Structure 1
Amino acid sequence: MASGIMPDELYGTVRVNDAVIEIIEVLEEQPWGARSCPPHTHAWFECNYIYEGSMKTGFGGPLLNVGPGEFFLVPAGAEHRHEYLPESPHRGVCLRWTVAPAEPTAGGGAGSVYAALERLREWQLGCYEDRYGLGERILRLFEEAREADSLASVQLTFVQILLTIAAVRHPEGRVTPAGADQSDTAFLRKIEVYLNDERAEKMNVRRLADALHVSYNHLARKYKRLTGKTIVGRLTEIRLARALDLLRRTDASIGAIAEVSGFGAAHYFSRVFKDVYGVSPKTYRKGLNVEAQKEPETVSVFSAE
């Protein structure tokens, strides 16, 4: 290949009118022997288009077959899982992106790109036959990438694909039974996935609320009603468990453990640790090799909000 842009180079930020689109990934997808992908959520949008073979995907309900010329879209925060079929391995393309307003007050009236792409958060989860020329547009994206010298022009083609999807008001296809992905069980599972994500050591519960498309107050009230505990307390419990494991297995400094486990400042970590376990992290570590030293009891750190 002479000049051109490879698919894994199609990332970056592009502004179109009142929207800022972060292109995360354009991936030529093949399972490569994998049999499944367990339930998970993520903070970006994802669109999967199948060209050959087949796979199964689900959104909290029964798995749906996805075959050639079909696609599915996963809004940010929606739980989903996949199964791959060795007897009919699929080949397709996966697009991943996020969208934000160009200005704090952007995203309003007619012609708003941000408003159009934000509506994809309400996309009806399911598997859809491509009646919109989506597959052709994706192939054109790859063709343009191979021939283009300008990354910006290819990124704009990517945005045109997103707007094509956003223009579909009432897609026709096989959908997940109404409300399955919004069940209380799925709601709690999404929260656990986010809170236990080791990459999210600095997670803010208000960002979690944004990812689940609910207000923080609604998230806090519903979580307390379903579990009897607070979501802030649950996050603290997860962070403490991570810190205990690091204290046992590593000789990392208290400051480093505080940072990695999500507490940030060492003095804050030490205070929370001592409030729950009765000893400081430093004292606890010293006592690990003393036979008489008992392991701290598992104490609930939940409290009313």
Structure 2
Amino acid sequence: MAIKSDYKKMTRILNETAIALKGEELGFKVHYWGAMPEHYDNPLHRHSFFEVCYVLEGNGFYYESNDEYPLTPGTLFCSRPGQWHQIKSLEGLALFYVAFELNEAHSNEAVMNRYLQLTHTNKIVVSTADDTIAAQTWRMLLTLCKQERSMTKEMIRSLAYALLISFYSEFSKVLESDEMAEHQQVSAYLQRAKLFIEDNLTSALSLHLLSNYLHITERHLSRIFSEKLGQTFSHYVQEKRVQKSMELLLETDWSISRIAEETGFESVHYYTRVFTRKIGVPPGQFRKTQLSEAPFNLK
């Protein structure tokens, strides 16, 4: 059970450790963290960022846009940007809270826009949230902050980021959650496809072969390359073959014909034609210059 000093310690450590949070697809700017053993009334107010609160103990009410929501132990609620809101409690609430916004410079635009749909969600209160990932993560943060051992700050930052990510699933509609899951699945397919191509450049690669490996249709795979990379499967493979051949030209003394074979081109003549079209000079000339002047880029 937490005591008052634990709340104060948690507030201090989180505000020192978990303000700028970045992950693979989203970045967050945290304005403040808070942990209060006794939170009573606050004035009616609004702000330009998200604020999410979790009630550990006590009872009260949350008011937003003329609506009243009861607050009991285990309640998770979200104050959205621009919305007038207020908390009231006669007995006091033991409360965790965090105020944050998305960091556009460190976020994938599509994922950020999906997260920002929370601005318009009507699901702003989860009345029984104790078993949710968000609530469990918040309690784990309290445990880590109470310990304050070496190496815990990295764990705290990771958990704090996970907590902010979890808010999306807690407050979004079911349909939006399904769309996020689909986006993650497509990203996983694309990552596996890229790795397969890199590991098998020497072999003959085809849309049919790769789609069978991934257990999806050729049409689905073709659409993933088009929508996510802006190019066809064959164009992507050809670029990877040329890039690999550039490395071999500069890092080995292999013949042009051997490099063509090692990078999966059907003949040295075809390799030379493709390389010259993309780089602007034949492979042999490229090797001689060794990029001593202006760098070459794939066209």
Query: TM-score scaled to structure 1, two decimals?
Result: 0.46
Larger Rg: 2
Counting helix residues as a fraction of each chain, which structure ranks higher?
2
Query: TM-score scaled to structure 2, two decimals?
Result: 0.47
